[in-house]
Amino acid sequence: MIHNITIDEFLKQASTLPLVDVRTPAEYLHGRILGAYNVALFTNEERVQVGTTYKQVGREQAILLGFDYVGPRWSGYIRQCLDIAPDKRIAVHCWRGGMRSGAMAWALNLYGFDVYLVQGGYKAYRRWCHRQFARSYNLHMLGGMTGSGKTRMLQLLQAAGQQVVDLEDLAQHQGSAYGTMNRLVQPTQEQFENNLAWRLQYLDTSQPLWLEDECQMIGKRCIPLPLWQQMRVAPLIDLQVPTEQRVASLVQEYGSLDPDFLIESTERIHKRLGPEQTKNAIAAIREGCMTDFIRIVLVYYDKTYRKGLERRNAGLIRALPVNGLPTEADMHNLVNIAATYIAVSTAPGGKS
């Protein structure tokens, strides 16, 4: 039997209902619903040919061409879906809930599957994603200069049961010129948004949500504007860590990376560092003087961070001195600040 369901109806049962994406491999790689399996009805090249035929000749000829391509492959598709859903209960989608998913649903239904056809397809999921970014969140921003241990603090908060979204983890980038760490590969912008929306859907908007204070761009990925705008006006706790500790932490984190990678990354910010500082930083890398290299680039990153703070409402910024790596005690202080200072400063009639 074929059941027509909305994207919201699918998401409510996504944990127990396997999902098959019948779009091409290229479409799937560009952006997909988390957990979806790709059982491509057409190859990338076949889809182009069918689309061209549809535009230049007509719908019926395009349908016939499509059946010419997939005719011998139906049994293979069914076997793939049996591997995915042995109990024969499965959801199917294509780009916008059109002929591709309809054809797959027909074949699976004929075989005896209980098929849930997602209306509007992947396009409906993308609209759903944008709705998640537009929701109003109770944001608490975690700031601090480079090397302040913000990621460590977020991990402590999450372990303590606080709501946390690690944007850098989702973007697969540490948020600086060196942010790929010479190993991370960023998802497409579309997939970054898909993964972020998937994470946001489970949150209680009445409870605090902790995010790291980020630039809108994390590497080459852009935080969706509606969420970014909320981040810029949310209360912020500024971790203040002694410079020597930050330098030591960054040397430990970046000092073992490939020197060629560090030099190439430094050259990308030469206009912001300035010619003399760029030259000195590269020389330090080549000589293995990682502490000197970190000190040089921190001048730029610290200046950038301070400028960002200046563009915020000073009344919504609270400093939290942290000595060394963030500890559970620091985390509890952070939560207490959020529960008192932030609540008072954002309440009607509160000070700001």
Give the domain range for residue 57. Answer: 2-129
Neighbour count for residue 17 (Cβ, 10 Å): 18
Distance CA 165, CA 133 (A): 13
What is the rounded average pLDDT of the residues 85-105? 95
Residue 13 sits in a domain whose CATH number is 3.40.250.10
Q: How confident is the model at residue 343 (pLDDT cuts 50, 70, 90)?
A: low
Distance CA 40, CA 26 (A): 10
- What is the set of active-site residues? 94
Same domain (yes/no): 27, 112? yes
Same domain (yes/no): 6, 121? yes
Boundary of a domain, candidates 129, 149, 177: 129
Boundary of a domain, candidates 129, 162, 187: 129
Q: How confident is the model at residue 351 (pLDDT cuts 50, 70, 90)?
A: very low
Same domain (yes/no): 188, 323? yes
Q: What is the pLDDT of residue 314?
A: 93
Give the pLDDT confidence of 20-48 residue by residue, as tens digits: 999 999 999 999 999 999 999 999 999 99
Boundary of a domain, candidates 129, 154, 186: 129
Q: What is the pLDDT of residue 341?
A: 64
Q: Do residues 241 and 323 make contact, with C-beta atoms less than 8 angstroms apart?
A: yes
Give the pLDDT confidence of 55-76 residue by residue, as tens digits: 999 999 999 999 899 999 999 9
Residue 6 lies inside a defined structural domain of this protein: yes
Same domain (yes/no): 100, 159? no
Residue 110 lies inside a defined structural domain of this protein: yes
Residue 352 lies inside a defined structural domain of this protein: no
Same domain (yes/no): 121, 140? no
**Which residues, other chains included, contact 185 with Cβ-Cβ below 8 Å and sequence gap of 6+?**
172
Give the pLDDT confidence of 98-142 residue by residue, as tens digits: 889 999 999 999 999 999 999 999 999 999 999 999 999 999 999
Q: What is the pLDDT of residue 48?
A: 95
Q: What is the pLDDT of residue 342?
A: 59
CA torsion sign for 316, 319, 325, 326 is negative
Residue 272 lies inside a defined structural domain of this protein: yes
User: By CB neighbour count within 10 A (0-12 exposed, 13-18 middle, 19+ buried), where does 78 fall?
Assistant: middle
**Which is it for strands 217-218 and 221-222: parallel, antiparallel or unpaired?**
antiparallel
One DSSP character per residue, 209-262 reads: EEEE---SEETTEE--HHHHHHHHTS-EEEEE--HHHHHHHHHHHHTTS-HHHH
Residue 269 lies inside a defined structural domain of this protein: yes
What is the rounded average pLDDT of the residues 79-99? 96
Distance CA 10, CA 128 (A): 12
Q: Which amino acid is at 90?
A: I
Give the pLDDT confidence of 153-198 residue by residue, as tens digits: 999 999 999 999 999 999 999 999 999 999 999 999 999 999 999 9
Same domain (yes/no): 271, 191? yes
CA 190, 196, 197 angle in degrees (round to 5)?
90
pLDDT at 349 exceeding the cut of 60: no
Same domain (yes/no): 273, 254? yes
Q: What is the pLDDT of residue 203?
A: 96
DSSP structure class, residue 314 = G
Global pTM value: 0.92
Residue 271 sits in a domain whose CATH number is 3.40.50.300
pLDDT at 340 exceeding the cut of 80: no
Q: How confident is the model at residue 97 (pLDDT cuts 50, 70, 90)?
A: confident
Distance CA 263, CA 267 (A): 6
Would you mind telling me the total number of residues written for the chain in this entry? 352
Maximum pairwise Cα distance, the chain? 71
- Total number of domains in the chain: 2
Same domain (yes/no): 211, 301? yes
SS3 state at 37: strand
Residue 351 lies inside a defined structural domain of this protein: no
Residue 176 lies inside a defined structural domain of this protein: yes
Same domain (yes/no): 196, 334? yes
Same domain (yes/no): 197, 116? no
Q: What is the pLDDT of residue 221?
A: 97
What element of type H or E holds 308? helix 290-310
Same domain (yes/no): 216, 145? yes
Same domain (yes/no): 161, 308? yes
pLDDT at 18 exceeding the cut of 50: yes
Give the pLDDT confidence of 290-312 residue by residue, as tens digits: 999 999 999 999 999 999 999 99
Closest CA to 326 of 143, 146, 148: 148
- Tokens representing 33 are 């619903």
Residue 307 lies inside a defined structural domain of this protein: yes
Q: Which amino acid is at 22?
A: V
pLDDT at 352 exceeding the cut of 60: no
Q: What is the pLDDT of residue 141?
A: 96
Q: How confident is the model at residue 350 (pLDDT cuts 50, 70, 90)?
A: very low
Q: What is the pLDDT of residue 348?
A: 46
Give the pLDDT confidence of 190-247 residue by residue, as tens digits: 999 999 999 999 999 999 999 999 999 999 999 999 999 999 999 999 999 999 999 9
Q: What is the pLDDT of residue 227?
A: 98
